[in-house]
């Protein structure tokens, strides 16, 4: 199901309930199935009032703008009440209009795919490793060229992407505890983690070893704090509350 499909089905359900062909209970149950997962794995749900909500990992939030139609994807595992996915032919998938491609280029970060973030992190790690190698080669007469740190910077993002599945399974064990902490606090702690780790390790190691250990530990701690694990059906959030309820 795409965002356009869900919107069309919602309009049909709204017309049917207004015509008396559906009860309110039937309408609420049908709307609860209008759920879409975008390319990043974020779940979107139509509220019975007609506006879009997205699941931030802890609660349903009101979307500031209409989700872009080009961000819809077929979920790996459908939630308990998600409708059957519509099928598209390979030719239809390849023939994306120019307007859709330009819209995808303007997709907000919150709706970008996981693959997009993986590529950015890997390219960023590679660039950092290259720059550090060039810098250390300038200082090679005094301390030697630091190839090890350059490799760590370049390969650490790759290792995290490759091992995301096992890491998510470990993080899922602590997810109930993480859900009790406001998301903004987790993000702030994750951003501060590399600096805190570097401060705590300062003086314990010298020069290059200090840089290598700080890079590895700081990056992993930050990842463990910010990453919301996706394991099987855990990606599917609960149904949206009805009008007049908590949502």
What is the pLDDT at residue 68?
Answer: 59
Per residue in 183-209, pLDDT (tens digit) is 899 889 999 999 999 888 888 777 788
211-to-65, 134, 152, 153, 155 alpha-carbon distances in Å: 42, 16, 10, 10, 15
What is the pLDDT at residue 52?
Answer: 83
User: Is the predicted pLDDT of residue 100 greater than 60, yes or no?
Assistant: no
Percentage of the chain lying above the pLDDT 70 cut:
70
SS (H, E, C) 2-52: CHHHHHHHHHHHHHHHHCCCCCHHHHHHHHCCCEEEECCCCEEEECCCCCE
Question: Helix, strand or coil for residue 94?
Answer: helix
pLDDT tier for residue 128 given thresholds of 50, 70 and 90: very high
pLDDT tier for residue 67 given thresholds of 50, 70 and 90: low
Of residues 22 and 73, the one with the higher pLDDT is 22
Per residue in 163-176, pLDDT (tens digit) is 988 888 888 888 88
Question: Helix, strand or coil for residue 67?
Answer: coil
Q: Are the C-beta atoms of 215 and 156 separated by less than 8 Å?
A: yes
Quote the pTM value.
0.52
What is the pLDDT at residue 71?
Answer: 44
Pairing type for strands 52-55 and 72-73 reads: unpaired
User: Is the predicted pLDDT of residue 112 greater than 80, yes or no?
Assistant: no
Give how far the C-alpha of residue 50 lies from the chain's centroid of Cα atoms, to the nearest Å.
Answer: 24
Give me 233's structure tokens. Answer: 């059906």
User: Is the predicted pLDDT of residue 227 greater than 80, yes or no?
Assistant: yes
């Amino acid at each position: 199901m795409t965002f356009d499909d869900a919107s069309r089905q919602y309009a049909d359900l709204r017309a049917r309930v207004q015509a008396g062909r559906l009860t309110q209970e039937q309408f609420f149950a049908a709307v609860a199935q209008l759920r879409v997962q975008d390319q990043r794995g974020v779940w979107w749900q139509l509220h019975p009032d007609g506006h879009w909500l997205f699941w931030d990992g802890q609660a349903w939030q009101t979307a500031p703008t209409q989700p872009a139609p080009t961000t819809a994807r077929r979920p790996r595992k459908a939630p308990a009440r998600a409708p059957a996915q519509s099928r598209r032919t390979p030719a239809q998938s390849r023939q994306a209009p120019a307007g859709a491609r330009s819209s995808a280029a303007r997709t907000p970060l919150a709706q970008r795919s996981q693959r997009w973030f993986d590529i950015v992190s890997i390219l960023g790690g590679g660039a950092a490793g290259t720059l550090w190698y060039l810098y250390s080669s300038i200082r090679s007469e005094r301390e030697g060229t630091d190839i090890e740190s350059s490799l760590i910077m370049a390969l650490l993002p790759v290792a995290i992407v490759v091992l995301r599945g096992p890491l998510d399974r470990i993080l899922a064990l602590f997810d109930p505890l993480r859900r009790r902490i406001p998301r903004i606090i987790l993000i702030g702690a994750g951003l501060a983690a590399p600096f805190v780790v570097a401060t705590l390790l300062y003086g314990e190691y010298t020069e290059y070893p200090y840089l290598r250990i700080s890079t590895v530990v700081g990056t992993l701690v930050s990842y463990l704090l910010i990453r919301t694990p996706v394991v099987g059906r855990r990606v599917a959030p609960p149904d949206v509350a009805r009008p007049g309820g908590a949502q």
